[in-house]
Structure 1
Amino acid sequence: MPRSRTTASAVVVCLALLGGVLSGCAYEYDDGLSNEDGASPSAPAFTDAAVPQDPGLNQPVSGAELDAWVLQVLPDAEGQVFHSGSGTLEADEERKETTVQLPKGTYALTLACRSTRRVSFSIDNGENELVDLSLRCGTSRVNVVYLAADAVLEVKVDANAPANFAYRVSRI
């Protein structure tokens, strides 16, 4: 008998044995829902771990409520605070403010807003735009920037809906 026929026969026999062994295997597992007592199993109630955010938390506030919100979203800074600002914007209003002259160094720009829509922040150092951000309200954002020379920053904030805003410029 030629060698290639013997090899082919051996391969066929191995495959047949392997197929027979594997066809006899069955995977079973206990899912914890056995129904031996005849009662119908009740599925566990689905609960969402994420609690939906209260929509009222993004409504703009004024007076003492605004001051309390600013303290909450801009907690004490680790460095020297050079400038901070906060306020209220009407729909389609833009506010521009400038900082004091800041010495060369690294700064944290903390931004926050309170509105049903996004609020846009833009911070420029003369010709250089350092931050251009449309912030989803209900969160705070910290941007770290390095100023190579003394500079005065211009902060622009605008909103398409009534909003509160807060920002802080602190040296790291």
Structure 2
Amino acid sequence: MKTQKALYYEALSIKQSCQLIALCREFQPHVPFEDVVFLELITAARRFCDPGSFIFIDDLQNRFEKVLKPTVEIIKAKYYFNGFKSNKKPLNGMQFYYINNYVPRVRIPMFDVMQNYRPIEKVLFLKIVRACRDFMRAKMSKDAEQDFFAEAVRCLLRHEITNSSTRL
């Protein structure tokens, strides 16, 4: 039986959901917050990789500097002000609610949630999750920032290629 969710995106498998929960728990900061920090980083990377957002910025390096880097700096300052130290406590109910209702898509639809979904978006979403995981495990260092940028650009270009091939 298809639910409303399954109509406009392909849900994560049980294994993928468990891995996402484990990553969210691993990167939750030591100071207790209601927000799920790892999902905030994924959302920032999704905004960068969404070709519909910020279409007025053509240069990818410029787009990275204006879209993704400031958000990463805000996340560092807000959640990891005492350095990178993960929380070993379990997530609370509200955090599980955020994780379970997080949509595994690259494109963030503005008006119509059923707009332009392609199954490749789930694959690209998982690539974004892996890039964010590697960046967080490197403690969001300046050295890891360039690898994060390169992986985000690869996801952006793959998404643009799949969009242009379906338009033809």
Q: Indicate the TM-score class for this superposition, using the shorter chain for normalisation.
A: under 0.3
Q: TM-score, normalised by structure 1?
A: 0.26
Higher relative contact order (CA 8 A, sep 6+): 2
In our comparison, the structure showing a higher alpha carbon Rg is: 1
Considering fraction of residues, name the structure with more helix.
2
Q: TM-score, normalised by structure 2?
A: 0.26
